[in-house]
A and B are shown apart, each in its own frame.
Chain A
Amino acid sequence: MQELLQYLFSGMTNGAVYAVIALGFSMLYSSTDLINFAHGEFVMLGALCMVSLTAGAGLALVPAFFVTVAAVAAAGMLFERLAIRPVRHPQPIVLIIITVGASIFLRGTGMLIWGKDAHSMPPFLDIAPIDIAGARLLAQSVWILVIVTALAAGLHLFYKKTLTGKAMTACAVNKKGAWIVGIPFKWMVLLAFGLSTGLGAVAGASIAPITMSSYDMGTILGLKGFCGAMLGGLGSLWGAILGGFLLGILEAMGVGFVSSGFKDATAFLLLLLVLYIRPQGILGTAEVKRF
Chain B
Amino acid sequence: MCFVRKYRPILLAAALLSAVVFAANPAAGADSGKNPWKIGGIFSVTGPASFLGDPEKKSMELAIEEINAAGGVDGRMLEAIIYDTEGDPSKAVMAAGKLINKDRVTAIAGPSRTPTTLAVVPMVERANLPFVSCAAGNKIVEPIKPWVFKTAQSDIQAVASIYAHLEKQGIDRIGTLTVANSFGESGREQLIEQAGDFGITVVRSESFGAGDTDMTSQLTKIRQEKPGAVICWGTNPGPAVVAKNVEQLGLDIPLYQSHGVASPKFIELAGDSAEGILLPTGKILVADLLPDNDPQKQVLTDYIDAYETRYDETVSGFGGYAYDAVYLLARAMEGTGGDKEKIRENLENIKGHVGISGVFSFSQTDHNGLDPSAFVMVRITDGKWQLVK
Contacts and interface: CB of A to CB of B under 8 A. Distances in A.
Given A118-B269, A212-B237, A217-B211, A260 B249 contact: no
B207 A261 contact: yes
A216 interface: yes
Nearest to B50: A116
Interface string A187-226: 0000000000000000000010011101011011100000
B221 A3 contact: yes
Nearest to B239: A212
Nearest to A118: B237
A212 B240 contact: yes
A214 B48 CA distance: 13
Contacts, number: 91
A120 B250 CA distance: 21
Contact of B218 (A207, A211, A217, A255): A255
A136 B217 contact: no
B384 interface: no
B236 interface: yes
A20 to B, nearest CB: 13
A259 B180 CA distance: 13
Nearest to A117: B265
A263 B250 CA distance: 24
A13 interface: yes
B236 A9 contact: no
A2 to B, nearest CB: 8
Contact of B268 (A120, A122, A129): A120
Contact of A116 (B51, B208, B221): B51
A10 interface: yes
B213 interface: yes
Interface residues of B, number: 34
A101 interface: no
A10 B244 contact: no
Among B221, B250, B268, B270, the one with the most A-chain Cβ atoms within 10 Å of its Cβ is: B221
A256 interface: yes
Contacts of B9: 112
A115 interface: yes
Contacts of B221: 3, 255-256, 260
Contacts of A33: none
B218 A3 contact: no
A122 B269 CA distance: 10
B206 A129 contact: no
B25 interface: no
A49 interface: no
A238 interface: no
A6 interface: yes
Nearest to B271: A120
Interface string A115-146: 11111101000000100000010100000000
Contact of A118 (B48, B209, B240, B244): B240
Nearest to A111: B48
B335 to A, nearest CB: 44
Contact of A14 (B214, B236, B265): B214
Interface string B38-56: 0000000000101100000
Contacts of B207: 260-261
Interface string A3-35: 100110111011001000000000000000000
Contact of A263 (B209, B216, B269): B209
Contacts of B250: 129, 136
Nearest to A211: B213
Contacts of A261: 180, 207
Contacts of A217: 211
B248 interface: yes
A214 B237 contact: yes
B168 interface: no
Interface in A75-133: 112, 115-120, 122, 129
Contacts of B206: 255, 259-260
Contact of B220 (A3, A13, A120): A3
Nearest to A262: B207
A211 B269 contact: no
Contacts of B240: 118, 120, 212
A111 to B, nearest CB: 9
A221 B213 CA distance: 9
A13 B206 CA distance: 20
B169 interface: no
B102 interface: no
Contact of A220 (B211, B248, B269): B211
Contacts of B180: 261
A7 B206 CA distance: 15
Contact of B249 (A6, A120, A207, A220): A6
A87 to B, nearest CB: 30
15 contacts: A3-B220, A6-B217, A10-B220, A11-B217, A116-B50, A119-B269, A120-B240, A129-B250, A211-B213, A211-B214, A212-B241, A214-B237, A220-B211, A260-B218, A261-B180
Interface of A: 3, 6-7, 9-11, 13-14, 17, 112, 115-120, 122, 129, 136, 138, 207, 210-212, 214, 216-217, 219-221, 251-252, 255-256, 259-261, 263-264
Given A116-B48, A129-B250, 20 more contacts: A3-B220, A6-B220, A117-B236, A117-B265, A118-B265, A120-B240, A120-B268, A136-B248, A136-B249, A210-B214, A211-B214, A212-B237, A214-B237, A216-B211, A255-B206, A256-B221, A259-B206, A261-B180, A263-B208, A264-B209
